[in-house]
Amino acid sequence: MKFPSLRINGLHLVLLIALILSACNTEKSSEADTVDDIIASIKEKYAPDKRIALFDVESEKNTAGYIIKGKTNLPEALNALEMELESQQITYTDSIEVLPATDLEGEIYGVITNSVANIRSQPSHSSELVTQATLGMPLNVYQKDDNWYQIQTPDKYLGWVDSGGVELMDKTAFDAWQSSEKLIYTKIYGNSYTDSDISSQVVSDLVAGSILSKVSEESSFYRVTYPDGREGFVLKSEAALFQNWKSSLDFSRESLVQTSKSMLGVPYLWGGTSIKGVDCSGFTKTVYFMNGMIIPRDASQQINEGILIDDSKQFDKLIPGDLLFFGSKATDSSRERVVHVGMWIGNNEFIHSSGKVRISSMEKQADNFDEYNYNRYLRTKRILNETDEGLIYLTKSDVF
């Protein structure tokens, strides 16, 4: 029996090779897509908000499989990634650095040593100011870039601070600082001095919320030390022993309003969270901090805390201390955007940082009616005395 011969001309051969190569490339592409999808899913689960969690990971194909490289401060995310890659039988080499970096040599704690330290998005003075940290604030330190340190604040916010604003410590030094008796500066703004005399040389300026270590009491002054070892004297009338101050906190709407009004006229500063300048959420954050609560940094984070009070402009439901959020509502083609926040103070008025800290009204007939924010109002949340993961009470947590 004869079988027909198989003839393959040049064109057929080229097409056959192309088909084989295409199949191989598709297989490789599919596997690469799988690796990238795994990385993306782990990031979405463990680090959906890059402002508070670091998972900067990518893959690179090589002859032996994949190199998984990058940095993270989330060991649990790395473990989850490795387990998923292994379950998919993907060959990989782990080149991910888990922070803190080893070249910090154990100095992975920090304490802010200036009255206000600027925290930036990148290790450069020209980079965006994302937040601020006040004197005495403890930090986690993750890595160094020249004279800059990547840090994380107690509210988990990530950023870079220059070396002049932070004192690095190992665990022994940090524990010693944390266990020392503290005082908190309660006046809006002032100074410390080289001697127990306000006519002596200024050591530094101080802002509301500054935390210092108490050494002794001398007449009408506290003798204090800074995180970097400097010493100074602070008027007793302008500060309080931290434990006494905590014990006196009443978490009341009246105290929130009083604190907020003491900041009237403070200029708007993008990224600001101190009396030297505040943005909208930096203002509400500062007001709550001076009343014993650490709340999330940004308006889009603050809106996720507490309980819903109103979303239909029924302002009679609100009480002083409630947070009002503004922005644009979600549509079929876009997500909700939260871009502004203010605090209700009663009498149909709210206080917020817009150009400067000011009081505006939701009453259309009022002289200070804020039509712009009235029209972009989203909803109101109540966080005072609520218990959410993002709310830290200084009476219940040893932050300082």
Number of helices and strands in the chain (H, E): 8, 27
Identity at 139, one-letter amino acid code: L
Mean pLDDT of 15-27: 52
pLDDT in tens, 40-97: 999 999 999 999 999 999 999 998 899 999 999 999 999 999 999 999 999 999 999 9
**If you average pLDDT over every residue of the chain, what do you get?**
94
Q: What is the pLDDT of residue 64?
A: 86
Distance CA 8, CA 28 (A): 28
Range list of H helices, the chain: 10-46, 75-87, 171-179, 242-248, 253-261, 280-289, 299-302, 371-375
Q: What is the pLDDT of residue 9?
A: 61
pLDDT in tens, 242-258: 999 999 999 999 999 99
**93, 306, 362 from 389: Cα distances, Å:** 36, 10, 31
Is the pLDDT at 6 greater than 90? The verdict is no
pLDDT in tens, 215-233: 999 999 999 999 999 999 9
User: What pLDDT band is residue 18 in, cutting at 50, 70 and 90?
Assistant: low
In sequence order, the β-bridge partners of residue 93 are: 67
Distance CA 157, CA 207 (A): 21
